[in-house]
Amino acid sequence: MRANPLVLLGLLAGCGWNNLPDQDYVYLDVPLWDPVRAVPTADGLYLQLPNSGGLTLVRGDGTTEAVDLGDGRVTETSVAPDDATVVAFVLREQCIADDEDDCADIERTRELVVLDDGAVTTTLDVEGTFNDVAYSQGGEFGIAYLDLTREVELDGVTNLTSVVVLDLQSGDTTPVSVGFAAEQVLFVEDETGASKAVVVSANAVAVLDLLQPEPIVEVTFPLTLDPDGRVVPVGVDLTPDGRYALISAQGSSDLYTLDLQSQSINIVDLSAQPADMAVNVATDRTVLVYNNLPVVEILDHELFDVDRFELDEPMDTILQGEDFAVLFDQGGGKDVYRLDIATGDLVEYVLENPPLEVVMAPGEDFAVALTRAEGGSSNDAAANLYNKYPGLEIIDLRGKGTAPYILEGAGLGVAFSRTDTRLDALVLQEGIDYLYQLDLYTGEEAELELSAPPSDIGVMPDGTFYITHPSALGLVSFYDAGSGDIVEVAGFAARGLLDAYEPTPAEDDDADDKEAK
Amino acid sequence: MTPLLLTLSFAFAQDAPPAQPPVEVPVETPAEAEETPAEAPEPAPEPEPAPEPEPTPEPEATPEPQVFAPPPTTLPEPESGPDHVAKWSLSAEIGSSAYRDDSFDLFGSRDGIDTSGLRVGRRVVDRVEVQLGWLRGNRGANVEVANASGGRELAFQSAYYAHRFSLGARGDITFDDALFAYVAARGQLVLQQVRLDGDPDSTSNTDQLSETALAPGGELVGGIELRIPQGKMPITAGWTLEMGAETVATATFGEFGDLRSGGFVIHSGIGIRF
């Protein structure tokens, strides 16, 4: 008897997509993926799949592939500055059996798996719990540490004083004790690469010599000699020559300047506790702003002299340009300043609404501010309109003007694409299933239709935009602003959906004995 | 169950019609020759043992007596006799198959699916029937995940479909052609499909995903069948109830992963036999 394929197809189809059986409700403890934790690389977008514990690589051409990491669960993923090397933290859990239960206990080990183009290149054993990696600019070193500001998954005894130096080229790992709760890591680099790492932790700053066969602590700078005192670093940066580490502390107007060569500490007295600090390489100066003080200060790195400039409102955030800084306030003020660091010249811009985020466009001719609805009422009809809606404002850094736009939904993110003739800003709005595209040179607008509202937007190393959507089964759109092409990739988060992550089962001793025989 | 079966079999045995219809033979008996009194008959006397017949001598050659015998009666062929059961069977079945694999939790909290379908059988030898069957079943769920506010929200809809194509043999024994007890062994090909729909309200969303898998399996069941006894009609009705165990190889649904079914099965069907 010949089976008619159409009959089989009909049997299989059963019913349409609108009539799927739904006799029950099922709750998944963990999501299949996280749309705001994409890791863009030159090879594609790496995405964690928490339900299956794995990692998937979504390429710009729309293909997806599983990254084979073996048994285990990926807890964090990060990309090195070369935009290609990816380091994944993998937690491997093995059931330990006893007579009554086949998983009476779980033995956990952690590894750092180095990936390139979706394939494992190196596996590094690490002892301890870490959730972040700081990379040297050249990508030859990484330092794994536990960032306590992020979600921390602890098990067993955790040593909070240790970091691990990763030699990403040789695959060597070296645990180093640096002080309690390492928070930030900086690298002293020159043309030949990184030579030292500065690890800032509570009450101490450790300088590691990376060029030794096994990296060691060269010197530790205590930030206080009072055992009861606690100095929490807020801003940390290195001067361009790598000689000084500048550290501002919470609740203190002191700026610690650590001389890494002479291994000495100098304290500069600032006007107040800085809200933000940025070291400018081009001018070799540091810009400081304060929460409650309407001034901006510029610190000279030669003599550590401070120049002070008055503002109308306090600023709390610094956005770096090549030789200038954009200052703005996320606390409700509507002023934005452009500061020429070399001369101290200030240009004031007044936005229609308070900014949530200000982003520098490529080329540094424009900055884009995403603003929130301010509320309230005014006699001015236009001001009333701005008060009601979130907005977008284009700040022309070449002059003094701004161009405000009212958004349909709250701005979630902005990304840029630049060609010889266009400078496009792509704006993501909450709950709106199109991207607003604006050419900053010409003011030409367009709406880019998407199949679903977006969650996040970013740029791949090749300039292609990626837009993630809150689809549980996974949905990413790649947008080439040059050609206008959109490639949608859906369903990648369903990979391994039927094989939810579980610790590796206990080994069967009997089976092992048989194999041995 | 056993007392019930025995009761049913006894009932069918009592009610069962004779295998051959009675044939009237015109033989005169003394009882017929005598007048039957109208009054109530007196109690019959105790029967006396029949006298031993005396051995009769070998008859010598005598002229053949004329025998007035009735003309030979042709007995009608019974439509079905005790050893003659229907050759074909066709049943509509419902049942249940077990899915104890944790992967099946995606489709609901119950570790099984309800099935329904058809089974056709052909008796090839006396007590053996070859059977061909198709059973289909599905199960699905609204899958929820935690949202940003800590509540739950619908993430997608999951659905599982299975089509069990089986071929096997049934061996049975019968009691008066009305009650059958049987065992059956069947090989299976299970055509399975997993569907995931990120937006159940739309038919054009991009996150409509589907993977299909084919896995071999088998089942061994024991059961009973009750039939309206044959012989009165060319087509009779039957009811079956069977239980047993099933095993199906692990099915791989592409990137979704693996799923394995198997365990207790139960089927019940009604149908016709001819």
Alpha-helix residue ranges (DSSP H) falling in B122-187: none
Residue ranges of B 222-251 with Cβ closer than 8 A to chain A: none
Going by C-alpha positions, the residue among A332, A266, A255 that lies closest to residue A299 is: A255
Confidence of residue B33 (pLDDT cuts 50, 70, 90): very low
CA B91 to chain centre: 8
Confirm or reject contact between B252 and chain A (CB < 8 A): no
Q: Best residue in B101, B105, B134, B207 to probe A by mutation, most A CBs within 10 Å? A: B207
Q: What percent of chain A has pLDDT over 90?
A: 38
**Closest Cα of chain B to A9: distance in Å?**
11
Residues on chain B touching A453 (C-beta within 8 angstroms)? none
Cα–Cα distance between A188 and A185 in angstroms, integer?
A: 10
Residues on chain A touching B138 (C-beta within 8 angstroms)? 14, 21
Contact between residue B180 and residue B11 where contact means Cβ atoms under 8 Å apart: no
Confidence of residue A146 (pLDDT cuts 50, 70, 90): confident
Q: Name the residue of chain A whose CA is nearest to B113's CA.
A: A23
Q: Which are the contacts of A389, defined by CB distance < 8 A and separation ≥ 6?
A: A373, A406, A407
Inform me whether the pLDDT recorded for A317 exceeds 70. yes
pLDDT at A224: 79
Both tokens of B274, joined, read 């001819």
Going by C-alpha positions, the residue among A194, A343, A329 that lies closest to residue A280 is: A343
Inform me whether the pLDDT recorded for B127 exceeds 60. yes
Pairing of strands B128-146, A24-28: parallel
pLDDT at B12: 39
Q: Which are the contacts of A460, defined by CB distance < 8 A and separation ≥ 6?
A: A40, A41, A42, A44, A45, A60, A466, A478
Cα–Cα distance between B91 and A243 in angstroms, integer?
A: 89
Burial class of residue A443 (count of CB atoms within 10 Å of its CB; 0-12, 13-18, 19+): exposed
**Region of residue A484 (left: phi > 0; alpha: psi -120 to 50; beta: else):** left
**Closest Cα of chain B to A124: distance in Å?**
28
**Closest Cα of chain B to A158: distance in Å?**
29
Cα–Cα distance between A382 and A308 in angstroms, integer?
A: 36
Confidence of residue B133 (pLDDT cuts 50, 70, 90): very high
pLDDT at A155: 65
Cα–Cα distance between A42 and A37 in angstroms, integer?
A: 16
Contact between residue A337 and residue A311 where contact means Cβ atoms under 8 Å apart: yes
Confirm or reject contact between A36 and chain B (CB < 8 A): no
Confidence of residue A95 (pLDDT cuts 50, 70, 90): confident
Inform me whether the pLDDT recorded for A228 exceeds 80. no
Confidence of residue A166 (pLDDT cuts 50, 70, 90): confident
Bridge partners (DSSP) listed for residue B117: B93, B135
Reported as a single tens digit per residue, the pLDDT across A417-445 is: 888 888 889 998 988 888 899 999 998 99
